[in-house]
Structure 1
Amino acid sequence: MEPRMADVYKLAGRGYQALSAMEEFLRDSAAPDDVLELVRLRVSQINGCSVCVDLHSHRASAAGETNERLWSVAAWRDTPFFTDRERTALALAEAVTRIADNPTGVPGDVWDAAARHFAPDALAALVMAIASVNAWNRVNVTAGLVAGSHR
């Protein structure tokens, strides 16, 4: 497969720097790293971003995530492998990513559950992480970038 625009991040260098600055913020944020990687993986699956599915599954694995859980992220509702906190984060990630599917945006019950499981600063960072991975996904998919290119 050949990308449509392999050099998109070079051509839009300041945009790349801005997205990278968000990632720096998230590394130092109150949002738990393990939850962030699961959320990034799920959002990337929804958006069909092979680059980010590949990247975040490898990052999660390197951080100690099990294959069983990684293989089950797409079907998290139907598996026993995730905690209530992780399920809440995944539900929020799906609601934010599919915001156009709900006339009121993120449903109140999804938000309320997330607010029960995460302190305000962690929840704010989680929302920023969901927005960030959606942005990366949209650039990668539009430019036709190829999975495995992060290696």
Structure 2
Amino acid sequence: MSTERMNIHEIDPKAYQPMFAMEKYVHGGTLGEDLLALVKIRASQINGCAYCLDMHGREARDAGVDNRRLDVLAGWHEAPELFSDRERAALALTESVTLISRGGVSDLIWGQVKAAFTEAEVPVLLMAISAINVWNRLAVATHQALPALPAQ
């Protein structure tokens, strides 16, 4: 277990304000809290962000995402029957954007996204993916501490 390096919010509460504005934009769209949670968890799995995995796992369950789907999310390619076309397109885009240096976003994935989302939803999805990647990087870089478990 690593020690938290710094608490950005304690040092400069204004530092997170642009990110909160981005989150307000993303959650004000029509993507749905369940899809947003899947996107945030998948990016956080790739980036190894325990803090975000913990937070967005709880959000996913609160949004009604079935535990089975959360259990296999890292292997969603192998379980297409558990995810809709829309979710698969969003997850593919999430992986491509999160791993952007590995060849960018293919035309195939872009076509899947354009087929599954309205033109107005695509920027919201891109902003959601971008935001979680920023959050992941902040949390991993600072070793952001997980909230304590409730007393048993």
Decide: shared fold, TM above 0.5.
Answer: yes
- 1:92 corresponds to: 93
Is 1:53 aligned to residue 53 of structure 2? yes
Which structure 2 residues correspond to residues 109-120 of structure 1 after superposition, within 5 A?
Answer: 109-120=108-119
1:12 to partner: Cα distance: 3.5
> How many aligned residue pairs are there?
148
Could you say what the CA RMSD is over the residues aligned between the two structures, in angstroms? 1.6
Percent identity over the alignment? 38
Is 1:37 aligned to residue 37 of structure 2? yes
Which structure 2 residues correspond to residues 1-151 of structure 1 after superposition, within 5 A?
Answer: 1=1, 2-5=3-6, 7-79=7-79, 80-102=81-103, 105-148=104-147
Give ranges in structure 2 of 5+ residues lacking alignment. Answer: none
Counterpart-to-counterpart distance in 2, 1:39 and 1:59: 12
- Partner deviation per Cα, 1:49-92 (whole Å, 9 max, x = no partner): 00000100100101111110011110000012111110110000
1:10 to partner: Cα distance: 2.7
- Which region of structure 1 is more displaced relative to structure 2, 26-35 or 136-145? 26-35
Counterpart-to-counterpart distance in 2, 1:130 and 1:137: 11
Q: Which amino acid aligns with 2:113?
A: A
Counterpart-to-counterpart distance in 1, 2:71 and 2:43: 14
Give ranges in structure 1 of 5+ residues lacking alignment. Answer: none
Report the TM-score when normalising by structure 1.
0.92
Contact 1:32-1:122 within 8 A present in 2 as well:
no
- Runs of 4+ in structure 1 off by over 4 angstroms are none
Q: 1:150 to 1:42 in 2, by over 3 A?
A: farther
Q: 1:119 to 1:146 in 2, by over 3 A?
A: same
Counterpart-to-counterpart distance in 2, 1:126 and 1:37: 12
Q: Which amino acid aligns with 1:71?
A: D
Q: Which amino acid aligns with 1:89?
A: A
Q: 1:115 to 1:61 in 2, by over 3 A?
A: same
